[in-house]
Amino acid sequence: MTEVFDLDAVTHLNRRIRQVCREKGYSYKHYRKEVYALMSIPEVHTVWVRRRKINRLLKLYGKADQRTDAWLQKRGEMITASEVCKAFASTSPSARKEMLTRKVFPRESAGQGPSMTACLWGTQFEPLAKEIYSNLQGGANVVDTTCVVHPRYPFLGASPDGIVLMKNPLDPHWGKLVEFKCPISRKFTQDTAIPDAYYHQMQMQMECTGIDVCDYCEMQFVRCNQTDWKESKSPYKGVLAVYDNGEIVYKPQESDVKEWRKTLTDDEYRMVYWTLENIRIEQVAKDPAWLDTHLADLQAFWAIVQECRADPSKMEQYIPKTDPPDDPSKILAVEIVVPSIPETAGGSSSAHTMILHLDDASVP
């Protein structure tokens, strides 16, 4: 019965049914009745609709080019899911300035965004997160895509971390999206709320892809020394080698560390021992009202980008000033004690107070 799901995407279900009947010698009338009875099950119908959308996505955007020059250039031409919050009217002045600069001058600001430390951490551990997640999903295939353009609004785009293809084509979770987060230091529990920026990121991903659900998968990896690594009881732990040129080589789980190190090509690398200390997976459903709620903000911001690209001198009028606030609660006083140089054995120290004025974005 599942043969009808295994064929390439076509316009109509009946064409799939006819093709299966020709190949298998089935009675068209009988087989069609069985297929339509199966499709009447809501979960199966949902997977069918999702499958058609995914086949289209993989045909148009199936090339996994994330973090390449072409991917970065394409992201510079639109508002992407990972930065969508910064386009909201409610964003902080500093975030809006950074976002506007990045979109008006995409080439010059290609290095802006998350810190280098965060990027390197994500580069190291996201492949491991994907492998562990796939294992927890029964060996599902997590498929990469390039930046997916919104079907109605081409200035919006998203690069999902993966599309999850379960082994069973009738699994109701087949075809969901997944977003991986591997925080460096931020702690979380199973009850910790998903940060707003990540929630909006997933909503934008679902809008662009047409997929109705996304797994939020957060993993806490810890780097440790060899002794602690050997003593760790974590079911997931491993070793990787980071070369000076940025290349990363992962030790296969079944390999012995000493034997694996013999396969490394040269000595210009450092060993990283890691363990997985915490994990949570939370399913997030698409909010049908999300785009309608935020579209005006996104369109307004993109209109400003277009205007400033034509005349960069206009940027100043769209970047809010960050004057010191009048609210005393947002003025941080830092007392710094600077010892004076003693002229005698009884030298003293003097205290100097520095007042730092912080804008809203800087107050924790």
Tell me the per-residue pLDDT of 198-223, one tens digit each, with 9 for 90 and over: 999 999 999 999 999 999 999 999 99
Asked if the structure places residue 335 within a domain, the reply is: yes
Same domain, 156 and 218: yes
- pLDDT per position as a tens digit, 215-252: 999 999 999 999 999 999 999 999 999 998 888 999 99
Asked if the structure places residue 358 within a domain, the reply is: yes
Chain centroid to CA 309: how far? 28
Same domain, 150 and 191: yes
Judge residue 204's burial from the number of C-beta atoms within 10 Å of its C-beta, 0-12 exposed, 13-18 middle, 19 or more buried.
buried
In this structure, are strands 176-181 and 213-224 parallel, antiparallel, or unpaired?
A: parallel
CATH code of the domain containing 292: 3.90.320.10
Same domain, 180 and 223: yes
| Total-model pTM | 0.79
Q: Which of 16, 46, 47, 10 is nearest to 32 (CA)?
A: 16
The stretch 78-107 carries a mean pLDDT of 90
- pLDDT per position as a tens digit, 170-199: 899 999 999 999 999 889 999 999 999 999
Asked if the structure places residue 24 within a domain, the reply is: no
Same domain, 185 and 221: yes
Same domain, 179 and 213: yes
CB atoms within 10 A of CB 336: 8
Q: What is the pLDDT of residue 233?
A: 94
Same domain, 332 and 299: no
Same domain, 211 and 342: no
C-beta of residue 324 within 8 angstroms of C-beta of residue 356: no
Same domain, 223 and 358: no
Q: Tell me what the pLDDT averaged over the chain comes to.
A: 83
Same domain, 67 and 190: yes
Same domain, 116 and 172: yes
Asked if the structure places residue 95 within a domain, the reply is: yes
Same domain, 298 and 194: yes
315 pLDDT band (50/70/90 cuts)? Answer: confident
* Residues 6 or more apart whose Cβ sits within 8 Å of residue 337: 349, 351, 352
Query: Total domain count for the chain?
Result: 2
Q: C-alpha angle 146/147/152, rounded to 5°?
A: 135
Range of the domain at 287: 61-237+272-315
Q: What is the pLDDT of residue 361?
A: 39
Asked if the structure places residue 187 within a domain, the reply is: yes
- pLDDT per position as a tens digit, 130-166: 999 999 999 999 998 888 999 999 999 999 999 999 9
Q: Which of 284, 293, 282, 301 is nearest to 80 (CA)?
A: 301
